[in-house]
Structure 1
Amino acid sequence: MEKSPTTHVEYDSSNAHSNGGDAITRVPTQGKDAVVGTVRLLLGNETVLLPTPSPDPKDPLNLPAWRKWSILILISVFGCSCVILASGLGPIFSVIRADYPGQELKANDLMVYPTLFMGIGNVLAMPITAVIGRRPIILLSMVTLVVSSIWCQHSGSLGSHIAGRNVMALAAGQSEALLPMMIQEIFFLHERGRKLAWFVFLENFLVGIFFFTSNYMVSAWGWRGWYAFFAAFNGLILLFSIFLLLETLFIRPDDASTGQVHLTLNDVGKVDEEGANELVFRVTTKDKDFLEPEKYGVRTWRTDLRLWRKIDNWAQVSYFYLDFLKGIVHPIFFWLLLLNGAYLGLYIYQASTFATILMSPPFSFKFNSLGYVQGAQILCCLVFLPLLGYAGDHLIRFLSKRNGGVYKPEYRLPSLALPAIAGVIGAFMYGQTAAHPEKYHWLGVALNYNIIFFAFLGANQVALTYAVDSFPLKAGPLLVVVCAGRGFISFGIGYAVLPSIQAIGYDGSMNVVGTICAVLAVAAIPMYYFGPTFRKLGQNYYGFGASKEHANGGSGH
């Protein structure tokens, strides 16, 4: 595009700035009838940057690659600690339960209640991040994990131990919605799938290592020493995060989510293809040097280390909860929370039972051998990253190119097929092996345990990317619908584990849960075709197509 002194880019509602010449590419507007979430991703061979980055060097989208990777790695390690502390008692639970003779049934609350409190933590903390930013909530959560780990280490009774773990789970809950939110705030749409896959890979790769080593840690130090280790581990994460974990919330105009920036032309006689006096432009991967530090200021360590951003209007909290309640009854998100809740419940179901099955005759595993079973999750991660991360992003680019360069969030759904099928088959096989161990090899438990874990990772990644891409301006409250909702569902499933086994056996229980997962997964087929209709419903009647005063309680995009 030729430079013109009469042309200015308006990135926000109050300021205009020079377009920097070739930094902006002209394309036709999408039209007034466009459905939210359906955006132009490709311009020829170039990829449109979604959301549109601002010319402010302090915009998280403009961070250098090493800063983005440092954030991703830090939150992955933090997420690993959250998963281990809140949900990782499986390999060592038999040792902990033995310390509470006569209270074995009550001790199950150490594993079951944290899933509930993780969901509550999401609901309580996420609205506040829309007001004061993501960074202070994450740092506070890290401090809470350190304190609650010390609490559990020195707990003098089962009740105190349960209470400490519930507080721990409130902080650990931020790993479910807030961390994926932060990833989507520093990476563009076309790279979210693989970057989220890297997050899941790093988090669960480390989880697999700790699952493998936890048995040896407990054998050497006892379960109280296990908590002491993670208190120190989280203290180290906190130290690095103070200096490297930057604020990712950045307020943007609504049209940045569609990749459009508006130009004001002094030559009012010029019109675009639709006959309007306003031209629409998009920034692509080939555009460089559109930053304006002389106008917006440079990024410094002082700006990076601010504990919180300027406090916004606390009314955003009420907007957040209103959108959260709307999301629960929206067809897309009601389905996503059921799907995620079912697959997470399936994983928790077998995580609560696999140790008992393998340590009992005829398998008679030794306690320390259980770590190998959960440590095999590392292999799941090695398969997950290329298969559902990079391949998923290549798939959406292929489907978008077939659609004239236009992307639809439903292009994420085909990636669900493989993990969904694998999870359902794994559930049936696990149930049969657990019910009739004399007829099957121990791999019927160990292998299917990890297959179901892979299925949950796949369902989780597809749900999060589909949710964010469908309504980017409401990503925060809608992610909480999925993450908190699945926590509540899995809590109910987890509480029903022992009663259902007693009533209908391992095979009957897993058949029921597996069938539920299968039905919900098959629902992805009509969702692929009718998803745009449901998104139009959310846009027209739920108010999901626009933010409130540029502060949507979500991504700020």
Structure 2
Amino acid sequence: MDAKVGSTEVAHLESALSKPVHHNPTGTVTLLEGDEVILIPTPSPDPCDPLNLPNAQKWAIDIILGMFAVFSVLVTSGMGPILTTVMAYYDYDPRVSDLMTYPTLFMGIGNLIAMPLAMAVGRRPVFLASALILTLGSIWCAASQSLGSHIAGRNILSLAAGQSEALCPLIIQEVHFVHERSSKLAWFSATQSIGTAALTIATAYIVNALGWRWWYGVIAIASGTVFVLSFCAVPESAYPRPSDSYDGLVHIYHEGEPISVVRATEKTRVPIDYTRYKARTLSHSLKIFHGPADWSKAITCGKQMAQCVLFPNILWVILLNSVALGIYVIGVTEFGTILSSPPYNYPSSALGLVQGGQIVVSFLLVPVLGYGGDMLTKWIAKHRNGVAEAEIRLIPIVLPVAALIISSVIFGHAGSNPYEWSPWAINITFSGIYFAFIGIVLVGYTYSLDSYPERAAPILVLICAIRGLISFGISFGITKFVTEQGYQGALNICAIITGAVAVLGVPVFLWGPRMRAITMKYAVDHKTAEG
């Protein structure tokens, strides 16, 4: 780190030298000083530091990652509008439901495999491999000659699609600062949602015109394009940082003694040092592997996962994510059956339009939970002497949780009593369930990443993998569950579970700082910057 600082900051930095590193729990940071936003993590003077990338390239990275997520979600979860067509093709074989339920399981397994690998060899090679596998897997499904082969192809591509859940948010986290993280993740989610919804609407028309095989063909072409764009514009985002960079105040050491402090704000950036560091070049950005693989990091990632899953606050985030995903899978699997049956009798081409409501809720996501979450964090920090607690990020989660409970109940009642309800009850509540799911995911990610920035990878894996496993258990028996309980009974049970898990968030909010203080010794590496 560069030790250059302005003369007006000398007194502040001298006092900072006497403070111990991480005197606050991880996740409790000084985000504001006066009217200036402190950049957390503190960027280094290295031109190759991903935090020093131009904003235009950061936006390009966000958009490309969003496009990858669009086709990942579309191919794994967007079959709802054409499920009846596929069922007819396979003579209503009951195993057709495996095409919808197994992907969530294999997306979770994909995270368990890929994220430790990304820690060992880098984010870029794993992401590029995932984009390529998504392309080849789509071609496999398009060319499959049996239901078994079709299911196998979807399972393989789902292993790669899982990177839209963990690796993509990790890369976004590594190229953006804390004060903008919620809005950037919201844009990522909105891009994914709007793109997926629009293409889901188009799905029915593509299938009616070209057949379901060409649906996979179109996705394969699009995924191949994303692979090429990723190779050209998504550089390696992993970068070694001292632990106190996540506090926004980096202590520079020489022979074990602190000699200076580096802080950066939006107005006062750390000067780029072209003397000590090499400039970022095109060949450096296009390089797939940066240095030899460090397999010990993969083992460490597994160890950290085992530790983080025992953190009460992270366990709660995982459970709430799992319930939300399970309910969404039920909704996306069943809405087509409800609306295509009497008295609604929706044609297959209209089922895709139902998911157009996701476009509307996605436009709400960015300002309300994205920029709104960042603005709320800064507003509260301003009234607390610049200090921001990670638990502030949990306040907006009330909205998606309420939406999930209300939408589940109404969806269930309308599904069981279609002659008493308008089809809009299904249309609107299905969009409400989707809004709740992506909102809970967004807030959960942001809170977790703010709480334990040095454990971003293992925590993201835990959230994505475990929610995939739990939701698979919920959704695998959808048909039997709904048959035994009815839509009303099944969704009422889901709403009760959601409420029970959500209430557990109250102690997380109230005693979160204490939880972070206790778990801090397992979440900080105590790396230092040598000058």
On whether the aligned pair clears a TM of 0.5, the verdict is yes
Instruction: Provide, for residues 453-473 of structure 1, a one-character-per-residue CA deviation record: whole Å limited to 9, x for no partner.
Output: 000111000110111111111
With structure 1 as the length reference, what TM-score do the two structures score? 0.91
Would the aligned equivalents of 2:3 and 2:260 in 1 still touch at CA under 8 Å? no
Equivalent residue in structure 2 for 1:544, among 498, 502, 523? 523
Would the aligned equivalents of 1:23 and 1:290 in 2 still touch at CA under 8 Å? no
Classify the secondary structure of the residue corresponding to 2:355.
Answer: helix
Q: CA deviation at 1:20?
A: 5.9
Partner in structure 2 of residue 19 of structure 1: 4
Determine if the alignment matches structure 1 residue 68 to structure 2 residue 72: no
Classify the secondary structure of the residue corresponding to 1:57.
Answer: coil
> Quick one: which amino acid aligns to residue 447 of structure 2?
Y
1:205/1:537 CA distance change after superposition, 3 Å: same
Instruction: Provide, for residues 101-149 of structure 1, a one-character-per-residue CA deviation record: whole Å limited to 9, x for no partner.
Output: 151x111001100100000000001011112111111111111111111
Partner in structure 2 of residue 483 of structure 1: 464
Partner in structure 2 of residue 124 of structure 1: 113
Equivalent residue in structure 1 for 2:26, among 36, 41, 51? 36
Distance in structure 2 (CA, Å) of the matches to 1:357 and 1:470: 42
Partner in structure 2 of residue 4 of structure 1: none
Would the aligned equivalents of 2:263 and 2:270 in 1 still touch at CA under 8 Å? no
Classify the secondary structure of the residue corresponding to 2:237.
Answer: coil
Determine if the alignment matches structure 1 residue 223 to structure 2 residue 212: yes
Q: CA deviation at 1:263?
A: 4.5
Equivalent residue in structure 1 for 2:349, among 362, 368, 371? 368
Partner in structure 2 of residue 159 of structure 1: 148
Bigger drift between 255-264 and 47-56 goes to 255-264
Would the aligned equivalents of 2:244 and 2:528 in 1 still touch at CA under 8 Å? no
Determine if the alignment matches structure 1 residue 51 to structure 2 residue 41: yes
Distance in structure 1 (CA, Å) of the matches to 2:524 and 2:487: 45
1:328/1:493 CA distance change after superposition, 3 Å: same
Partner in structure 2 of residue 384 of structure 1: 365
Partner in structure 1 of residue 283 of structure 2: 302
- What aligned pairs does 1:515-530 form with structure 2 within 5 A after superposition? 515-530=496-511
Distance in structure 2 (CA, Å) of the matches to 1:24 and 1:152: 61
Would the aligned equivalents of 1:23 and 1:288 in 2 still touch at CA under 8 Å? no
> Quick one: which amino acid aligns to residue 50 of structure 1?
I
Residue-pair matches, total: 523
Would the aligned equivalents of 2:44 and 2:270 in 1 still touch at CA under 8 Å? no
Bigger drift between 222-231 and 23-32 goes to 23-32
Would the aligned equivalents of 1:154 and 1:224 in 2 still touch at CA under 8 Å? yes
Distance in structure 2 (CA, Å) of the matches to 1:143 and 1:546: 34
> Quick one: which amino acid aligns to residue 130 of structure 2?
S
> Quick one: which amino acid aligns to residue 376 of structure 2?
L
Equivalent residue in structure 1 for 2:378, among 375, 397, 406? 397
> Quick one: which amino acid aligns to residue 346 of structure 1?
I
Partner in structure 1 of residue 203 of structure 2: 214
> Quick one: which amino acid aligns to residue 468 of structure 2?
G
- What aligned pairs does 1:130-279 form with structure 2 within 5 A after superposition? 130-263=119-252
Distance in structure 2 (CA, Å) of the matches to 1:503 and 1:110: 22
Determine if the alignment matches structure 1 residue 293 to structure 2 residue 278: no
Classify the secondary structure of the residue corresponding to 1:286.
Answer: coil
Distance in structure 1 (CA, Å) of the matches to 2:330 and 2:403: 16
Would the aligned equivalents of 2:3 and 2:261 in 1 still touch at CA under 8 Å? no
Would the aligned equivalents of 1:246 and 1:305 in 2 still touch at CA under 8 Å? yes
Would the aligned equivalents of 1:24 and 1:281 in 2 still touch at CA under 8 Å? no
Classify the secondary structure of the residue corresponding to 2:344.
Answer: coil
Q: CA deviation at 1:184?
A: 0.7
Distance in structure 1 (CA, Å) of the matches to 2:91 and 2:254: 78
Distance in structure 2 (CA, Å) of the matches to 1:508 and 1:278: 65
Distance in structure 1 (CA, Å) of the matches to 2:432 and 2:214: 31
Bigger drift between 20-29 and 46-55 goes to 20-29
Distance in structure 2 (CA, Å) of the matches to 1:20 and 1:280: 8
Q: CA deviation at 1:523?
A: 2.2
Partner in structure 1 of residue 388 of structure 2: 407
Q: CA deviation at 1:522?
A: 2.4
Instruction: Provide, for residues 479-538 of structure 1, a one-character-per-residue CA deviation record: whole Å limited to 9, x for no partner.
Output: 111111111111111112111111111000000011111122222222111111111221
> Quick one: which amino acid aligns to residue 524 of structure 2?
G
Equivalent residue in structure 1 for 2:335, among 354, 360, 385? 354
Distance in structure 2 (CA, Å) of the matches to 1:118 and 1:22: 52
1:310/1:491 CA distance change after superposition, 3 Å: same
Bigger drift between 288-297 and 456-465 goes to 288-297
> Quick one: which amino acid aligns to residue 28 of structure 2?
T
Classify the secondary structure of the residue corresponding to 1:352.
Answer: helix
Partner in structure 2 of residue 553 of structure 1: none
Distance in structure 1 (CA, Å) of the matches to 2:244 and 2:142: 50
1:178/1:547 CA distance change after superposition, 3 Å: farther
Distance in structure 2 (CA, Å) of the matches to 1:467 and 1:494: 26
Distance in structure 2 (CA, Å) of the matches to 1:314 and 1:200: 31
Gaps of 5+ in 2: none
Q: CA deviation at 1:43?
A: 0.6
Distance in structure 1 (CA, Å) of the matches to 2:349 and 2:336: 11
1:160/1:548 CA distance change after superposition, 3 Å: farther
Q: CA deviation at 1:311?
A: 2.2
Would the aligned equivalents of 2:251 and 2:258 in 1 still touch at CA under 8 Å? no
Equivalent residue in structure 2 for 1:78, among 60, 64, 68? 68
Q: CA deviation at 1:423?
A: 1.1
- What aligned pairs does 1:365-514 form with structure 2 within 5 A after superposition? 365-514=346-495
Partner in structure 1 of residue 322 of structure 2: 341
1:295/1:48 CA distance change after superposition, 3 Å: same
Classify the secondary structure of the residue corresponding to 1:108.
Answer: helix
Determine if the alignment matches structure 1 residue 90 to structure 2 residue 80: yes
Classify the secondary structure of the residue corresponding to 2:43.
Answer: coil
Q: Percent of pairs identical after alignment? A: 38
Q: CA deviation at 1:545?
A: 2.0
Q: CA deviation at 1:282?
A: 2.1
Q: CA deviation at 1:34?
A: 1.6
> Quick one: which amino acid aligns to residue 525 of structure 2?
A
Would the aligned equivalents of 1:57 and 1:292 in 2 still touch at CA under 8 Å? yes
1:107/1:528 CA distance change after superposition, 3 Å: same
Gaps of 5+ in 1: 1-10, 12-16, 267-275, 551-557
Equivalent residue in structure 2 for 1:323, among 279, 284, 304? 304
1:18/1:400 CA distance change after superposition, 3 Å: closer
